[in-house]
Amino acid sequence: MSASPTLKPPVWRADITLGRSTWRFTLHGPRRPSPTFIALEVAALAGAVVVALLTGSDADWDIALFALLLIFSIVSDLSAASTSAVKISGSFLSLVLAMVFLGGAPASLIGVATIGVGWLRWRDEPEPLLNNLVAYAWFPLIGGLVFTEVSQAMSLGERDGFFYLLTFVVFVLALALNFMIIALRIRYIEGTGIIQLVRKLVVPVLSSEVFAALLAVGVAFLYIHVGLAAIVLFGAVLFTFQRLLGQLLLSEQRAEELEKRGQQLTDRTKQLATLQVGVLSALLRTLDLRDRMTARHSAAVARYAREIAIAAGFSKEEQELVHTAGLLHDIGKFIFPDSILKGDTKLTDDDWKIIKMHPYQGARVVAQMEGYGPISDIILAHHERIDGKGYPRGLRGDDIPALSRIISVADTYDVMTARDSYRTPISSFEAIQELRRVSGAQLDAQYVEIFTRILAGKDVRFRHGEDADFDAELGLDKRVEAYSLPVGEVEADGKPSEESAAQAERDAAAAADS
């Protein structure tokens, strides 16, 4: 029996105008508006036309004020402050003023004209366009009719205080009607509850709309006392404010886009860092399957090396570098055959040639990981000697990176004292005596003495590295955070240059032949 395909709900783009704001969002619903629903919207629009024609004779068709508010509304909508999510215009204020001073029919005509002309720029989809036309035909019409009827019933004059209160109430009524018309359509498509739509559409703009309502009252007061000049002045100020708001919204949108891209880049970088650390850890784990001491030894060397770096006064960044290098310093041993790795046979000259190549091989592997260039340099030099007799490059004294010299001290000590070593372990005291004996020739005398002081204050388990745990030292989550970006001075690709890599290989080959 074949499985039935999973049907995803259709997705519709909707530009919903509410008050001064047009919200641009995606609707997920089981259906598009049916032909019946669309027919009802067409009928509602036609009904608004009929009501406007029947009541139009009672309206105040002040041509100058009508033309000014019409121009103001259309231009405000065309020049609305806009982002990908919302556009904000002052057309709603014009409609409220038209409801108050002209009446329902003129206000409705201005609303329909605003939406219609605005389509030339905003190119709304046909269905949300129809819904917006219905909304902008009806709420100005009803708002204007309510204002006219109430003001006449109460015999309110234009200088009466209740006149301005009624202006505020009509603004709120118009906003509520606007919301209900668009909410019905969204509910039909998405099935979203009215309360949820209030939270989604009304609450975010409520404070700004209350301010706009008070602003409408103020403009009405100025118009009554000053005349058309107040509307012209208000329009100039509002257009200037709208332009500034547009620049602000654009800046915020760009900032959000940059933040989003930055977050995406960070997420991808963290994924890469997780992969890198995981690959290196897996290599060491694979090596540990062949040589049981590898993981514990690497953890012990990393711990010892960081303690030395801390006591020597290195920066936190350098402490983390030497700790990571300690974890990875023996990763190049994957080239060793079992006869060398397990140390159960006498080493031949050919075996020593392989051994002397492992710092270079380890550094080459680590260098392939973005941001690990400085660590590969430390690994490459961790078997160099102060007297120049080390490998793979035969560096001498201060030519050896300081952090590599620290790794050498930690590495030598753990190999001598570890009970899982391929050689017979010796006591911490004996190992310290041996470190001091080769100090200045094989090892850096400064770091030998620092390490000796550290060991003096530690217990037996620390001095023999028995409780060193690779996973604990690795600290995967913290390491991913730390290495999401390159650490220290890394070349553009986070790897040693071709010239230095080639030179290291030549030096390693020469050292192996010596």
The 10s digit of each residue's pLDDT in 484-513 is 544 443 333 334 444 444 444 444 444 444
pLDDT at residue 167, rounded to an integer: 92
Mean of pLDDT values over 79-107: 79
Mean of pLDDT values over 156-160: 83
**Cβ atoms 332, 359 nearer than 8 A:** yes
Q: Please state, rounded to an integer, the average pLDDT across all residues of the chain.
A: 77
Which range has highest mean pLDDT (15-19, 159-163, 231-235)?
Answer: 159-163
Q: 175-206 b/e with 16+ CB inside 10 Å = b?
A: bebbbebbbbbbebbbebeeeebeeebbeebe
Q: For tokens 């690779």, what's the residue? A: 470
pLDDT at residue 369, rounded to an integer: 74
Of the candidates 352, 421, 365, the one whose C-alpha atom is nearest the C-alpha of residue 391 is: 352
Question: Of all residues in the chain, what percent are helix, strand and coil, respectively (each to 5)?
Answer: 70, 5, 25
In percent, how much of the chain has pLDDT > 90?
A: 31
pLDDT at residue 79, rounded to an integer: 76
Pick 109 or 6 by higher pLDDT: 109
Distance CA 327, CA 411 (A): 11
346 pLDDT more than 90: no
Region of poorest pLDDT, from 122-126, 440-444, 502-506: 502-506
Mean of pLDDT values over 420-437: 86
